């Protein structure tokens, strides 16, 4: 495996290089973002480890540039005392990094072996991920979708269910920043490492005017609120549409699972729901979205070319689970238009 280490600390580069070369990996180094981009013009690693605090172009901007130019997997390796902190983790995921890890320090430190083990496991796994080249999108990229809006409004939706995994934060940012107030609640299953959920919730709240909260057992959902599946629990609904949290085994190796969410929404809401499949690795959500589609619900899938990782969108498309394939901005446009149709001219909800 070929690895590019990007870090302004020569000591850190030397330590990580020694660890990786000890595993037989080919390693090259860059001391800052500009040098990394120059190296990548003639060298293609399997994966890149990226520090965040560097002079000049920092790790966040370097990561975003790499995704635009080369579509290579990037893992943030930081010396932050709290790598769960939103200031590091969420900015890294927003830039398109696949994971955020704690940087190994001295071999004499108590957690050195654990840090090295996590680093090696993550690099082996993430080096296999197929990254889609990212391009900057503008509203002009989004086409008209009026037949879709008519169909969605006729379904009289009561809930929007969203699934995302790796690359999801980028898609969600583009989606939420264009989303207007919604006359229904939204629920989200985002595959994310345990411990990051509070930071992820707080970061999402900076992108939208709606309230963002972690779903709780037995609660009824409120319109114009975004609810997140909690760590280590599947999220579903009871017959009276209250939240049901389930700690049954993972599906597709994940818990919470998008398939579980979509199946439950199909059972409890039927066609009166909207299902959205966004960027991610693997196939989770495809079968459940297909079930929602068969129920007559509006099902939207992120355009694979707009996703950092297109496996989840492509899996849903392969099962013919998508009524329409759109970039995140286009998905927001469709929801806004349906919401406008659901509200009467005097501002009251048409369904009341």
Task: Indicate if 165 belongs to the active site.
Answer: yes
Select which of 127, 165, 279, 311 is catalytic: 165
Distance in angstroms (rounded) separating the CA atoms of residues 327 and 175 = 9
Residue with tokens 């190296």: 39
Task: Indicate if 234 belongs to the active site.
Answer: no
Cis peptide before 275 (omega within 30 of 0): no
Residue with tokens 């809930």: 159
Select which of 8, 51, 58, 284 is catalytic: 284
Distance in angstroms (rounded) separating the CA atoms of residues 236 and 31 = 47
Select which of 191, 234, 260, 293 is catalytic: 191
Distance in angstroms (rounded) separating the CA atoms of residues 100 and 25 = 20
In the chain, which ranges are continuous DSSP H helix?
10-22, 33-40, 59-69, 86-95, 112-126, 146-154, 168-176, 197-205, 258-269, 286-294, 311-318, 328-342
Task: Indicate if 238 belongs to the active site.
Answer: no
Distance in angstroms (rounded) separating the CA atoms of residues 183 and 179 = 12
Catalytically annotated residues: 165, 191, 284
């Amino acid at each position: 495996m070929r690895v590019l280490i990007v870090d302004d600390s020569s000591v850190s580069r030397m330590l990580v290089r020694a660890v990786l070369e000890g595993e037989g990996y080919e390693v090259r180094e860059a001391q800052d973002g500009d040098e990394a981009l120059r190296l990548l013009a003639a060298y293609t690693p399997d994966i890149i480890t990226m520090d965040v605090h560097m002079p000049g172009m920092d790790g966040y901007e370097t990561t975003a540039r790499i995704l635009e130019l080369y579509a290579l997997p990037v893992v943030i390796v930081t010396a932050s005392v709290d790598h769960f902190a939103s200031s590091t983790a969420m900015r890294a995921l927003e830039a398109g990094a696949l994971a955020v890890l704690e940087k190994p320090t001295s071999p004499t430190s108590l957690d050195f072996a654990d840090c090295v083990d996590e680093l090696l496991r993550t690099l082996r796994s993430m080096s296999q991920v197929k990254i889609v080249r990212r391009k900057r999108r503008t509203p002009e990229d989004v086409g008209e979708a009026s037949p879709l809006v008519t169909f969605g409004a006729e379904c009289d939706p009561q809930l929007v269910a969203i699934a995302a995994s790796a690359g999801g934060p980028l898609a969600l940012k583009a989606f939420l920043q264009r989303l207007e107030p919604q006359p229904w609640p939204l629920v989200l299953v985002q595959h994310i490492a345990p411990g990051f959920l509070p930071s992820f919730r707080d970061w999402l709240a900076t992108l939208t005017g709606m309230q963002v909260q972690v779903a709780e057992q037995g609660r009824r959902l409120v319109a114009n609120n975004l609810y997140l599946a909690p760590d280590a629990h599947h999220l579903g609904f009871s017959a009276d549409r209250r939240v049901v949290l389930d700690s049954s085994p993972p599906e597709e190796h994940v818990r919470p699972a998008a398939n579980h969410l979509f199946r439950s929404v199909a059972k409890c809401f039927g066609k009166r729901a909207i299902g959205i499949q966004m960027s991610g690795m693997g196939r989770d959500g495809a079968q459940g979205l297909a079930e929602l589609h068969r129920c007559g619900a509006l099902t939207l899938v992120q355009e694979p070319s707009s996703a950092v990782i297109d496996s989840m969108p492509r899996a849903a498309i392969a099962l013919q689970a998508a009524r329409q394939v759109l970039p995140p901005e286009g998905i927001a446009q469709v929801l806004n238009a349906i919401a406008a149709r659901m509200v009467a001219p005097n501002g009251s909800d048409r369904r009341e």
